[in-house]
Structure 1
């Protein structure tokens, strides 16, 4: 698999740990890849994508990054940190209101000196691409050369980060003497899952790549993933042809909605923290791991022995509402 040049910001390879007590409880060998430990201010899965996307921006002579996300976006925070590491300016368009609490990722965005535009949810959901394009035009008038990174860096170049992560996982399998027959990740914007699936396919690896969506629905993301495969192939030079029915996204774990927690999810995250000393976030990994455990109980993973869950980070996303639900 041919990949373009990238920056090296993340602490890689991230380690793989066995969740021994959860494995015993469920009768499966469950492992976790600690992509929450890719860094501090850049922690989480987004930095793998940004290593490629921001390298493209720099190679094209750009000096200003524009991106978007929710008020507690891990991607926006990581983008702001990377921009500052490279001496670039950064503009974040965040889905939120003026009374949004200044905490978590939003607070870190401010600390990093990002220029921030808060947009009400309805307008954000309907017009975010136009909003970022208009910001780009205004910055160009001021003499900047901006580069737009889509939500979650989930485009062709960003998804390369998880194509490369597959090569990392295959190398670690040899070191650990383990063969993972299932790889599971959260699906929030599609790029992480698309990269894992594409890399797994190109490498002719016989693991099944599962996604658990935490917003929208499986049908929506299957269409997104198919488009991302085409975007990835522009950079790798290798197209893949996948039938939509062969994309394994497990629906049903959105709960109360994107970035909204319910008591069952928080109780599960709390239980796992006490069981394994592992802290998940309420927006992404908490919902996805909850979904994985429920699907194991349902028998979805009966044909799998060694399951690898990708911990995509997000600990800064614990807001006051989610924290108040911990008993």
Structure 2
């Protein structure tokens, strides 16, 4: 029996699983299902809250009163962290990549509404020094008599990964209730923590699911290393070594497109088509790219030996609105 760390309960769980009937019929391939982790809440909607439930429990256990994290200007994770901090009476400091805009919209608007302190750093500093910058802020907080807890980008850490360890337990229970089994679980890869948690659970619970990530930035090699690192960190919490060879970390590369948070017409059309066909709205940064990649791979025959595929909708609705001008109706 594996004992995992404790968490606080904040998300609306379990999230439901829906079959995409009309899309599945159009594709004439495996049946497609979607897990609605975009419905984990309102202010903290998306996959990040599952990970934050574990991170923030650890922060509270350590007596911390300030949460420090980082992300892009439309970071779902930063917005979720700000929301949880407000709910629990904590302070949030979010470090955002890029230049401060003249007007706020989407997630960055919500960061401010939720009372987070927002600090801006250059893209270069974010890429090369973000952890050092957050640790320096933590020292600054400590000098003022408070105690900070630093959460890495996307809450992709050893403790955060348990959010998707328990998500796979949830999926297994839902499979029993629905009377089906999923051959593969597909998820967008932005920082790697969600994939790491699913793969950790798949290994330790010995389920037969293939865990497949579709990266929306960087490349396959980068994420294989990042996921492996998170899993190694997680193993320290359960006092049990977990070794997963890099080649066993399945990633479908090739759908980054123009780059992180930059959309191509075919990706936007995929978002629009799914919305009008199934009433499900994806986001352009994560789920839109990954779902487009999944559909392309189904059309290529990559999944022809599978019957049921589950795609995890990791949220991101608020990040859709700043891209409104990119859509053509």
Confirm or deny a common fold (TM above 0.5): yes
Aligned pairs (5 A) from 1:13-32 = 13-27=14-28, 28-32=30-34
Equivalent residue of 2:35, what SS?
A: strand
Shift of 1:322: 4.5
For 1:101 and 1:326, the matched residues in 2 are separated by: 23
Counterpart of 1:40 in structure 2 is 42
Q: Which residue of 257, 260, 263 corresponds with 2:259?
A: 257
1:168-247 correspondence to structure 2 within 5 Å: 168-247=170-249
1:232-266 C-alpha deviation (Å, 9 max, x unpaired): 11112232222211111100111111111111110
Task: Show the 5 A alignment for 1:26-175.
Answer: 26-27=27-28, 28-99=30-101, 101-175=103-177
Other-structure match for 2:301: 299
Q: Secondary structure at the match of 1:202?
A: helix
TM-score (norm 1): 0.98
Distance in 1 separating the partners of 2:122 and 2:141: 22
Cα drift, residue 321 of structure 1: 3.5
- Checking the alignment, whether the CA contact within 8 Å between 2:51 and 2:160 is kept in structure 1 is yes
Equivalent position SS for 1:183: strand
Task: Tell me the distance in 1 between the aligned counterparts of 2:286 and 2:325.
Answer: 15
Q: CA deviation at 1:36?
A: 0.2
**1:318 aligns to what SS in structure 2?**
helix
Kept after mapping to 2: 8 A contact 1:270/1:326: no
Distance in 2 between the 1:70 and 1:240 partners? 31
Query: Which stretches in structure 1 are left out of the alignment for 5+ residues?
Result: none
- Return the alpha-carbon distance in structure 2 between the equivalents of residues 154 and 262 of structure 1: 27
CA distance in 2, matches of 1:251, 1:93: 28
> Runs of at least 4 residues of structure 1 off by over 6 A?
none
Q: TM-score, normalised by structure 2?
A: 0.97
| Equivalences for residues 270-309 of structure 1 within 5 A | 270-309=272-311
Q: Is the 8 A contact 1:210 1:250 kept in 2?
A: yes
Contact 1:261 1:322 in 2 (8 A): no
Counterpart-to-counterpart distance in 2, 1:120 and 1:321: 22
In 2, Cα distance between the equivalents of 1:241 and 1:303? 28
Counterpart-to-counterpart distance in 2, 1:321 and 1:48 = 26
Q: Which runs of 5+ in 2 are unaligned?
A: none
SS of 1:180 mapped into structure 2 = coil
